[in-house]
Structure 1
Amino acid sequence: MNKSDFIEVLKQRTKQLAIDVIHMYDKIQKTDATRIIGRQLIRSVTSTAANYRATCIARSQKEFFSKISIVVEEADETLFWLEILKEANFASSETIDPLINETLEILKIMSKARKNAGNN
């Protein structure tokens, strides 16, 4: 897979994660707590996808590093909110574990990209 294909795959994965999280949230019982968590979760997961797209059109290495750092932070926040939903028993492991796993994979990829960008 060449670099351009890899970038497109990551764009699609981050966007699909956002869509999957939104659909998962729509299916869970709404309480005051889940509404607050859900708002934060949806904000962070959509920010992950949107900011990754912004990294793809960065005009400089410095801008790329800045944007990829935001992606890492937002992906980590997404992971946090997913863990909260799971550990508070607001969503089943069966429902949330695939989202946690995909978020972890994306976080690892983006963290490595940030590390490599920082080394250049």
Structure 2
Amino acid sequence: MGAKELLFRTREFALNVIQILDKLPDSIGNKTIKNQLVRSATGMAANYRASTKSRSLKEFTARLGVVIEEADESWFWLDLLEVLNPKLSEISLLKSEAFQLTAIFTSSVKTIKRNACEKAPNNS
């Protein structure tokens, strides 16, 4: 999957989260979760965008680490939101997307690290 598609997916994820949060009432639980979720979802999109402007592989990998944390955190808040709002079926789709994005970015970091190890000089 290319950078352009991931830029689109992370942006769409953030927008979809915002749209679903606008549908929810401002109960105490929802309000707290809405605050955290909007930050993690938009943070994921913004940090992925920033990663595409990285000046080095090390900086790129570090940014992806933040993206993974934000995507996983988004999944967590969506899970809580789903428990509090079981009739809102769109939440499960967003949870699935958060899980998929976490997996994609985790796989990318693992590949980068594996390739770095393979290119490292043998010190034996």
TM-score by length of 2: 0.88
1:91 Cα deviation (Å)?
4.7
1:92 Cα deviation (Å)?
2.8
Structure 1 segments unaligned to the other structure (5+ residues): none
Q: What does residue 31 of structure 2 align with?
A: 35
* Alignment partners' CA distance in 1, 2:29 and 2:92: 20
Number of equivalent positions: 115
2:6 matches 1:10: yes
Structure 2 segments unaligned to the other structure (5+ residues): 117-124
Tell me the percent identity: 35
Q: What does residue 83 of structure 1 align with?
A: 79
After the TM superposition, list the runs of 4 or more consecutive aligned residues in structure 1 that deviate by more than 4 angstroms.
none
Q: Which has the higher contact order (CA 8 A, sep 6+)?
A: 1
SS at match of 1:59: coil
Which whole-Å deviations, capped at 9, do the CAs of 1:32-85 have from their partners, x for residues lacking one?
A: 211111000000000000000111111111101110000000000000000001
2:69 matches 1:69: no
CA-atom RMSD in angstroms: 1.2
Larger Rg: 2
Distance 1:34 1:76, change over 3 A: same
